[in-house]
Amino acid sequence: MLQNLPMDLRQYKQFVCWRYEDFDGTKPTKVPYNPSTGYPARVNDGATWNDFETCVDAVEKGNYSGVGFVLTEHDPFTFIDLDDTEGNADMLNIQMKIFEAFDSYAEISPSGKGLHIIVKGKVPSGRKRSKIEVYSDLRFMTVTGNVYRNAPIRDHDELVNRLWADMGRNTQTEGHDPYAQQTATDEEVINAAVTASNGEKAMDLAQGNWQKYYASQSEADLALINIISYYTQNRDQIIRLFKASALGTRNKQTTIRGVDYLNYMINKSFDRLLPPVDIQALQNNLQAALEQNMRRVPQECAPLPAIIEQPKEVSDCYFPPGLVGEIAQFIYDSAPRPVKEIALGGAIALMAGIVGRSYNISGGGLNQYILILAGTGRGKEAIASGIDKIMTRVIKTVPTAMDFIGPAEISSPQALVKYMAKATCFVSMIGEFGLKLQQLSSARATPIDLGLRRMILDLYGKSGEGKLVRPTIYSDKDKNTECILSPAFSIMGETTPERFYECLNEGMVSEGLLPRFFCIEFKGKRPPLNDNHLHVKPSETLISRISTLCANSAMMNSQNKAVNVELSPEAKKVLDVFNEYCDAEINESDREIKAQLWNRGHLKALRLSATVAVGMNPWQPVVDEEVARWSIALIIKDIKNITNKFDLGEIASDDDEGKQITLALNFIREYVTKNWPEIAKYKASTAILHGERVIPMSYMYKRASGVVAYKKDRRGTSEAMKRAMKVLVERGDIIEVPKMQTMQRFNTSAVCFMVNDNRILSGAY
């Protein structure tokens, strides 16, 4: 039937496939896909769309459930979606009038219960009211070709905008309707009350057993009225149900004064209820803001996808070409618990320890600060054992090669400088580096730790040819240090993510300590035991190449010479674009910590790519485009991982209460802007609530759990989140949806909120 779609539509290369996927909602979700790649499609990324024939072919092969069309501002179309009215005669009558007014192509929806009318025309933003939706941009709409009205796609711009305006009229009422109609039977109201979480209390009060709850029967009367009015706001029904209870039979309720008394209690109960919210008006305003936000993607970012979008090989920790990749492969193969991220970090560290001083790029050496983050039992010890196996063989032909492996513990800055005076290029492999970071960054750090921290900060940029570490003198002459020419000090630290993020804070970023580190995090499970690891030995070729490199670097170090690593024209272009990208990230950062993290992004990419290039050709090292892109992708992955941790509140802040509010806004923004599959993983909402952009408090609790700013609050995570949400309600950022409405519309009594100030979406706060 897809061949029945009008040619007007089929000529656009804006088609996607979609598949039903179950995310524990009341019905499956239609998820859009690009059939050419198998990855999800995005409504604001034309690279993820296809032509009509490609999508139809993929569906016919059984790979997907159906075809969809992505609406954009550049095509002339608007979709009117008339959903199943579920027996509502009034709504069906409205839909029939719309159908008759728009004499354009119409087709039956995939469910067989709805109708799509496609017209030419453009509305300012997507809009939904009850069972009617109108969209003309930034939306993918399913298409079936199951023709209901065989007509051309007609131009109805004026008419569709009139419909859009009518759908946007605010129907919100102030306060509570004194003439509210009965919407449920007495039995339904009673069943809802006694089966709720406070059902036992409702049953006791209805049976007159109030003494264990209240000091007086008057308080119990009001409590029962409050419970009944939660499920119905029809005054006659409330009075009838109350009088049918044991509390309503006493004399006080049967007199004329009793009528006044009941009305007084009902009025008081209504005063406690939240005023009704025009949910669809809020949704329409939010939809307009979402579309405006999605259109703000800077055009200058268009040339960057190949750099920013990490290739699959990089996300799978692809080993680079040359000696770095070969060392990484050996460490991986010889590890009891092989992990590619760990092996790669070890290979880069060993190379930096050998060539950090003898090779330069952009005026600086190639020393590296590397930190491996992996859980307990993930095989971090493979780095030291693998490097030991290599270097034990290398020193048989190049005895001085062991000088490239530095001390595993550094007690003081003076000790480090004294060691560098005799070994100017080395890597120190420090186990449980998280503990060392805690000592260095602690508010109670000793003078020795503070001095070592300053030394580590300073040494990062001292490895370039012609640079030096100036001497330090003390009253105790034995502590004096010498002047050292271009020392190349590298660090290979390893720790668990928990330890690292626990000690990490904004100060470590703002002073520049963390931005100097290239962090490689392994988030997977413990790998199975490699039974063959004891039998793996480095090849003669590998040992020969490393030995030659060590001998050559040792000779250049003794002569204080360095080889400059060149960039191919293609690599230079890629790295220049990345440098501009880092500048843009710094200039657009809303927080200083993000600017600091991006500040050394380009330098780290240069050093990483140059280290790989030396391993490919130590005699004439040139960074090619492949290595440049590989390095950039890893650096972006590292920086974004850390910035996301800050955004999610998993790293401590100096102002936790302010941080809690900021995080709550971030969680809300995440909820309303992300697709349901990304929200479903938290198991704290439903597809219906998310589709209506209604935020349950349970989702906010779930997002706050484990977040440092909430977890360490003395009031507890839940109370801290309640306070943050209260502040946002009082500020007008969000609005609480009355439980009566959530019960009627979503069949839930959960505390829920909606966005009231759309500036939340742009991060204006």
Task: Identify each DSSP E strand in 568-709 by its residue range.
Answer: 622-623, 695-696
Which of 177-191, 334-348, 711-725 has the largest mean confidence? 334-348
> Is the confidence at residue 447, as pLDDT, over 70?
yes
Higher pLDDT, 659 or 326: 326
Burial label for 282, CB within 10 Å (0-12, 13-18, 19+), is buried
What SS3 class is residue 402? helix
Report the pLDDT value the prediction gives residue 550, as an integer from 0 to 100. 97
Report the pLDDT value the prediction gives residue 302, as an integer from 0 to 100. 35
Report the pLDDT value the prediction gives residue 653, as an integer from 0 to 100. 54
> Is the confidence at residue 563, as pLDDT, over 90?
yes
In 476-600, which residue ranges form alpha helices assigned H by DSSP?
A: 497-503, 506-510, 540-558, 569-588, 592-599
Report the pLDDT value the prediction gives residue 256, as an integer from 0 to 100. 45
Instruction: Give the side-chain half-sphere CA count within 13 A for 407.
Output: 14
User: What percentage of the chain carries pLDDT values higher than 70?
Assistant: 87
> Is the confidence at residue 311, as pLDDT, over 80?
no
What SS3 class is residue 120? strand
Report the pLDDT value the prediction gives residue 300, as an integer from 0 to 100. 35
d(CA 115, CA 107): 6
Its CATH architecture, for the domain 186-272, is: Orthogonal Bundle (1.10)
Candidate from 119-123, 273-277, 518-522, 683-687 with smallest mean pLDDT: 273-277
Report the pLDDT value the prediction gives residue 63, as an integer from 0 to 100. 87
The residues facing 405 across adjacent strands are 427
Structure tokens that stand for 179 in this block? 């003439």
d(CA 471, CA 481): 5
Mean pLDDT to the nearest integer, 538-556: 96
Report the pLDDT value the prediction gives residue 490, as an integer from 0 to 100. 96
pTM: 0.56
Condensed to tens digits (0 to 9), the pLDDT of residues 260-271 reads 778 778 877 776
Mean pLDDT to the nearest integer, 415-427: 90
* Pairing state between β 517-521 and 147-149: unpaired
Burial label for 439, CB within 10 Å (0-12, 13-18, 19+), is middle
Contact 516, 462 (CB under 8 A): no
Structure tokens that stand for 733 in this block? 């950022």
d(CA 275, CA 335): 64
Which of 166-175, 329-338, 512-521, 648-657 has the largest mean confidence? 329-338
Condensed to tens digits (0 to 9), the pLDDT of residues 607-658 reads 999 999 999 999 999 999 999 999 998 999 899 888 877 766 666 555 567 7
Q: What is the DSSP letter of 274?
A: P
* Pairing state between β 77-82 and 132-135: antiparallel
Mean pLDDT to the nearest integer, 520-533: 90
Q: Give the contacts of 734 (CB within 8 A, at least 6 positions apart).
A: 668, 695, 725, 728, 753, 754, 755, 756, 757, 760
> Is the confidence at residue 369, as pLDDT, over 90?
yes
> Is the confidence at residue 171, as pLDDT, over 60?
no
Provide Rg for the chain, Cα atoms: 33
Q: Domain map of the chain by residue range?
A: 2-167, 186-272, 322-564, 656-762
* Pairing state between β 488-495 and 369-373: parallel
Higher pLDDT, 88 or 359: 359
The residues facing 175 across adjacent strands are none
Mean pLDDT to the nearest integer, 236-248: 88
Task: Provide φ and ψ at 694, rounded to 5°.
Answer: -100, 125
Report the pLDDT value the prediction gives residue 4, as an integer from 0 to 100. 92
> Is the confidence at residue 192, as pLDDT, over 90?
no
Burial label for 30, CB within 10 Å (0-12, 13-18, 19+), is middle
Does the CA dihedral 390-395-401-407 come out positive or negative?
positive
